Protein backbone atom coordinates (compact mmCIF):
# COMPACT_ATOMS: atom_id res chain seq x y z
CA UNK A 1 0.00 0.00 0.00
CA UNK A 2 1.38 3.43 -0.96
CA UNK A 3 2.34 6.15 1.50
CA UNK A 4 -0.49 8.34 0.18
CA UNK A 5 -3.03 5.73 1.25
CA UNK A 6 -1.43 5.31 4.67
CA UNK A 7 -1.19 9.06 5.26
CA UNK A 8 -4.97 9.30 4.86
CA UNK A 9 -5.24 6.94 7.82
CA UNK A 10 -2.71 8.63 10.13
CA UNK A 11 -5.33 10.65 12.04
CA UNK A 12 -7.45 7.55 12.64
CA UNK A 13 -4.29 5.68 13.66
CA UNK A 14 -3.38 8.33 16.26
CA UNK A 15 -6.93 8.15 17.65
CA UNK A 16 -6.82 4.31 17.63
CA UNK A 17 -9.91 4.20 15.41
CA UNK A 18 -8.58 1.69 12.86
CA UNK A 19 -9.28 -2.01 12.95
CA UNK A 20 -6.73 -4.16 14.76
CA UNK A 21 -5.49 -5.49 11.41
CA UNK A 22 -5.01 -1.98 9.97
CA UNK A 23 -3.35 -0.79 13.20
CA UNK A 24 -0.87 -3.67 12.99
CA UNK A 25 -0.08 -3.07 9.30
CA UNK A 26 0.30 0.67 9.81
CA UNK A 27 2.56 0.01 12.82
CA UNK A 28 4.85 -1.99 10.54
CA UNK A 29 4.76 0.68 7.83
CA UNK A 30 5.55 3.52 10.28
CA UNK A 31 8.64 1.69 11.53
CA UNK A 32 9.96 1.56 7.95
CA UNK A 33 8.78 4.92 6.55
CA UNK A 34 10.34 8.09 8.06
CA UNK A 35 7.73 10.35 6.39
CA UNK A 36 4.74 8.51 7.84
CA UNK A 37 6.53 8.16 11.19
CA UNK A 38 7.01 11.94 11.30
CA UNK A 39 3.30 12.45 10.50
CA UNK A 40 2.37 10.06 13.30
CA UNK A 41 4.64 11.91 15.74
CA UNK A 42 3.05 15.24 14.78
CA UNK A 43 -0.39 13.71 15.26
CA UNK A 44 0.51 12.40 18.71
CA UNK A 45 2.02 15.76 19.69
CA UNK A 46 -1.09 17.62 18.47
CA UNK A 47 -3.32 15.26 20.45
CA UNK A 48 -1.23 15.81 23.56
CA UNK A 49 -1.30 19.60 23.12
CA UNK A 50 -5.08 19.47 22.67
CA UNK A 51 -5.41 17.54 25.93
CA UNK A 52 -3.17 20.09 27.67
CA UNK A 53 -5.19 23.01 26.31
CA UNK A 54 -8.41 21.40 27.49
CA UNK A 55 -7.07 21.19 31.02
CA UNK A 56 -6.91 24.99 31.16
CA UNK A 57 -10.67 25.04 31.53
CA UNK A 58 -10.85 22.30 34.16
CA UNK A 59 -12.10 23.62 37.48
CA UNK A 60 -9.33 23.72 40.07
CA UNK A 61 -9.86 22.23 43.56
CA UNK A 62 -9.83 25.73 45.08
CA UNK A 63 -12.52 26.94 42.67
CA UNK A 64 -14.69 23.92 43.48
CA UNK A 65 -14.28 24.57 47.21
CA UNK A 66 -15.39 28.20 46.72
CA UNK A 67 -18.48 27.14 44.75
CA UNK A 68 -19.43 24.56 47.37
CA UNK A 69 -18.88 27.11 50.14
CA UNK A 70 -21.18 29.58 48.37
CA UNK A 71 -23.85 26.91 47.95
CA UNK A 72 -23.62 25.92 51.59
CA UNK A 73 -23.84 29.56 52.68
CA UNK A 74 -27.17 30.11 50.92
CA UNK A 75 -30.30 30.34 53.11
CA UNK A 76 -31.57 26.95 54.11
CA UNK A 77 -35.06 27.74 52.79
CA UNK A 78 -33.92 26.58 49.37
CA UNK A 79 -33.93 23.10 50.81
CA UNK A 80 -36.83 23.60 53.19
CA UNK A 81 -39.01 21.35 51.07
CA UNK A 82 -36.57 18.48 51.60
CA UNK A 83 -36.93 16.14 54.50
CA UNK A 84 -33.92 14.63 56.23
CA UNK A 85 -33.89 11.46 54.08
CA UNK A 86 -34.12 13.51 50.87
CA UNK A 87 -31.36 15.89 51.96
CA UNK A 88 -29.13 12.95 52.85
CA UNK A 89 -29.72 11.48 49.40
CA UNK A 90 -28.79 14.78 47.73
CA UNK A 91 -25.64 15.04 49.87
CA UNK A 92 -24.67 11.50 48.98
CA UNK A 93 -25.10 12.28 45.28
CA UNK A 94 -22.86 15.32 45.63
CA UNK A 95 -20.18 13.25 47.34
CA UNK A 96 -20.36 10.59 44.62
CA UNK A 97 -20.13 13.29 41.93
CA UNK A 98 -17.04 14.78 43.58
CA UNK A 99 -15.37 11.36 43.86
CA UNK A 100 -16.17 10.66 40.21
CA UNK A 101 -14.72 14.04 39.16
CA UNK A 102 -11.52 13.43 41.15
CA UNK A 103 -11.15 9.94 39.67
CA UNK A 104 -11.57 11.28 36.12
CA UNK A 105 -9.06 14.06 36.82
CA UNK A 106 -6.50 11.46 37.97
CA UNK A 107 -7.13 9.39 34.85
CA UNK A 108 -6.58 12.46 32.65
CA UNK A 109 -3.29 13.20 34.40
CA UNK A 110 -2.15 9.59 34.00
CA UNK A 111 -3.13 9.54 30.32
CA UNK A 112 -1.16 12.73 29.74
CA UNK A 113 2.02 11.28 31.32
CA UNK A 114 1.70 8.03 29.36
CA UNK A 115 1.07 10.02 26.16
CA UNK A 116 4.32 11.91 26.78
CA UNK A 117 6.46 8.78 27.09
CA UNK A 118 4.71 7.18 24.10
CA UNK A 119 5.46 10.34 22.12
CA UNK A 120 9.15 10.17 23.10
CA UNK A 121 9.29 6.48 22.16
CA UNK A 122 7.84 7.17 18.70
CA UNK A 123 10.09 10.23 18.24
CA UNK A 124 13.20 8.18 19.05
CA UNK A 125 12.28 5.48 16.52
CA UNK A 126 11.59 8.12 13.86
CA UNK A 127 14.96 9.78 14.47
CA UNK A 128 18.03 9.03 12.37
CA UNK A 129 19.96 8.71 15.65
CA UNK A 130 17.59 7.12 18.19
CA UNK A 131 20.29 6.73 20.89
CA UNK A 132 23.22 8.81 22.14
CA UNK A 133 25.34 5.83 23.16
CA UNK A 134 25.22 2.74 20.93
CA UNK A 135 26.06 -0.40 22.88
CA UNK A 136 24.63 -3.77 23.81
CA UNK A 137 26.89 -3.90 26.89
CA UNK A 138 25.13 -2.89 30.09
CA UNK A 139 28.55 -2.14 31.63
CA UNK A 140 29.04 0.50 28.93
CA UNK A 141 25.57 2.03 29.00
CA UNK A 142 25.21 2.39 32.78
CA UNK A 143 28.51 4.30 33.34
CA UNK A 144 27.69 6.59 30.39
CA UNK A 145 24.95 8.19 32.50
CA UNK A 146 27.29 9.09 35.39
CA UNK A 147 27.21 12.87 35.85
CA UNK A 148 24.29 13.18 33.42
CA UNK A 149 21.44 12.04 35.69
CA UNK A 150 21.17 12.51 39.50
CA UNK A 151 20.69 8.79 40.19
CA UNK A 152 22.10 5.38 39.34
CA UNK A 153 20.44 2.14 38.29
CA UNK A 154 21.23 -1.48 37.48
CA UNK A 155 20.56 -3.20 34.16
CA UNK A 156 19.83 -6.91 33.73
CA UNK A 157 22.06 -9.48 32.06
CA UNK A 158 20.28 -10.35 28.79
CA UNK A 159 22.40 -13.27 27.62
CA UNK A 160 20.11 -16.21 26.91
CA UNK A 161 17.02 -13.98 26.62
CA UNK A 162 15.21 -12.80 23.46
CA UNK A 163 16.03 -9.16 24.29
CA UNK A 164 18.91 -7.03 23.04
CA UNK A 165 20.07 -3.71 24.45
CA UNK A 166 20.59 -1.29 21.54
CA UNK A 167 21.75 1.74 23.52
CA UNK A 168 20.44 4.72 25.47
CA UNK A 169 20.04 8.45 25.44
CA UNK A 170 19.65 11.33 27.85
CA UNK A 171 16.18 12.91 27.91
CA UNK A 172 14.37 15.52 29.97
CA UNK A 173 11.03 14.61 31.50
CA UNK A 174 9.08 17.38 33.24
CA UNK A 175 12.23 19.54 33.19
CA UNK A 176 14.39 16.90 34.95
CA UNK A 177 17.14 14.72 33.41
CA UNK A 178 16.15 11.09 32.86
CA UNK A 179 17.38 8.00 31.03
CA UNK A 180 15.82 6.31 28.02
CA UNK A 181 17.03 2.79 27.22
CA UNK A 182 16.21 1.17 23.90
CA UNK A 183 15.80 -2.60 23.64
CA UNK A 184 14.88 -4.86 20.74
CA UNK A 185 12.64 -7.91 20.83
CA UNK A 186 12.38 -9.63 17.44
CA UNK A 187 11.10 -6.84 15.13
CA UNK A 188 9.80 -4.73 18.02
CA UNK A 189 11.45 -1.96 20.02
CA UNK A 190 10.99 -1.28 23.72
CA UNK A 191 11.82 2.03 25.38
CA UNK A 192 12.45 2.00 29.12
CA UNK A 193 12.36 5.39 30.82
CA UNK A 194 14.03 5.80 34.23
CA UNK A 195 13.70 8.94 36.34
CA UNK A 196 13.62 10.07 39.95
CA UNK A 197 10.33 9.21 41.61
CA UNK A 198 8.47 12.27 42.88
CA UNK A 199 5.20 12.90 44.74
CA UNK A 200 3.85 14.44 41.53
CA UNK A 201 4.58 11.29 39.50
CA UNK A 202 3.10 9.12 42.26
CA UNK A 203 -0.05 11.20 42.17
CA UNK A 204 -0.28 11.17 38.36
CA UNK A 205 0.57 7.52 37.76
CA UNK A 206 -0.96 5.91 40.83
CA UNK A 207 -0.18 2.24 41.40
CA UNK A 208 2.06 0.22 39.08
CA UNK A 209 0.05 -1.13 36.18
CA UNK A 210 -0.10 -2.10 32.52
CA UNK A 211 -1.91 0.38 30.26
CA UNK A 212 -2.65 0.91 26.60
CA UNK A 213 -1.81 4.06 24.61
CA UNK A 214 -2.75 4.00 20.92
CA UNK A 215 -1.31 0.66 19.76
CA UNK A 216 1.38 0.61 22.45
CA UNK A 217 1.57 -1.26 25.73
CA UNK A 218 2.88 0.84 28.62
CA UNK A 219 3.92 -0.59 32.00
CA UNK A 220 4.84 1.59 34.97
CA UNK A 221 6.40 0.72 38.33
CA UNK A 222 8.74 2.19 40.93
CA UNK A 223 11.72 0.74 42.77
CA UNK A 224 14.52 2.14 44.88
CA UNK A 225 13.25 5.71 44.68
CA UNK A 226 13.07 5.59 40.88
CA UNK A 227 10.11 5.59 38.51
CA UNK A 228 10.20 3.22 35.52
CA UNK A 229 8.01 3.37 32.41
CA UNK A 230 8.31 0.87 29.54
CA UNK A 231 6.68 1.40 26.12
CA UNK A 232 6.42 -1.01 23.18
CA UNK A 233 4.21 -2.27 20.40
CA UNK A 234 5.16 -5.84 21.34
CA UNK A 235 2.69 -8.09 23.14
CA UNK A 236 2.04 -7.34 26.81
CA UNK A 237 3.43 -10.71 27.94
CA UNK A 238 6.73 -10.05 26.15
CA UNK A 239 6.96 -6.62 27.74
CA UNK A 240 6.23 -8.24 31.10
CA UNK A 241 9.20 -10.58 30.69
CA UNK A 242 11.61 -7.66 30.20
CA UNK A 243 10.00 -5.75 33.07
CA UNK A 244 10.57 -8.75 35.35
CA UNK A 245 14.27 -8.76 34.39
CA UNK A 246 14.53 -5.03 35.10
CA UNK A 247 12.83 -5.41 38.47
CA UNK A 248 15.21 -8.22 39.44
CA UNK A 249 18.20 -6.07 38.46
CA UNK A 250 16.93 -3.04 40.42
CA UNK A 251 16.43 -5.23 43.50
CA UNK A 252 20.17 -5.91 43.53
CA UNK A 253 21.11 -2.24 43.88
Whether the predicted pLDDT of 253 surpasses 70: no
The DSSP string of 178-245 is EEEEEEEETTEEEEEEEEE--HHHHHHH-S-EEEEETTEEEEEEEETTEEEEEEESS-HHHHHHHHHH
Which of 63 and 194 is assigned the larger pLDDT? 194
Interstrand relation of 216-223 and 176-185 (parallel, antiparallel or unpaired) = unpaired
Residues 93 and 173 in one domain: yes
Are residues 3 and 35 in contact, defined by beta-carbon separation less than 8 angstroms? yes
Residues 80 and 170 in one domain: yes
Give the chain's domain count. Answer: 2
Are residues 184 and 191 in contact, defined by beta-carbon separation less than 8 angstroms? no
Q: Tell me what the mean pLDDT of segment 67-79 comes to.
A: 63
Task: Write out the residue range of the structural domain in which residue 37 sits.
Answer: 1-57
Mean pLDDT (the chain, rounded)? 78
So what's the pLDDT on residue 13?
74
Residue 77 CA to residue 60 CA, distance in Å, equals: 29
Mean pLDDT highest for which of 32-41, 44-53, 88-97, 149-158? Answer: 149-158
pTM: 0.60
Residues 75 and 27 in one domain: no
Q: Return the CA Rg of the chain.
A: 23
- Helices 34-55 and 20-32, axial angle in degrees (round to 10): 120
Whether the predicted pLDDT of 168 surpasses 90: yes
Domain boundary among 21, 38, 57: 57
- List pLDDT tens digits, range 93-113: 555 555 444 444 454 677 788
Helix-strand-coil split of the chain, %, nearest 5: 55, 20, 25
Amino acid sequence: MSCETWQEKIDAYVDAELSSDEMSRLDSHVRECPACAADAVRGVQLKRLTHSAGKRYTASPDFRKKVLAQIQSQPSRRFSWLGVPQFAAVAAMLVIAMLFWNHNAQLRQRDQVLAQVTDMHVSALASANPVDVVSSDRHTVKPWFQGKVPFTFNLPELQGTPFTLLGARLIYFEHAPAAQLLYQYQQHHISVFIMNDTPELDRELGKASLSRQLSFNVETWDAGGLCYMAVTDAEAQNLGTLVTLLKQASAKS
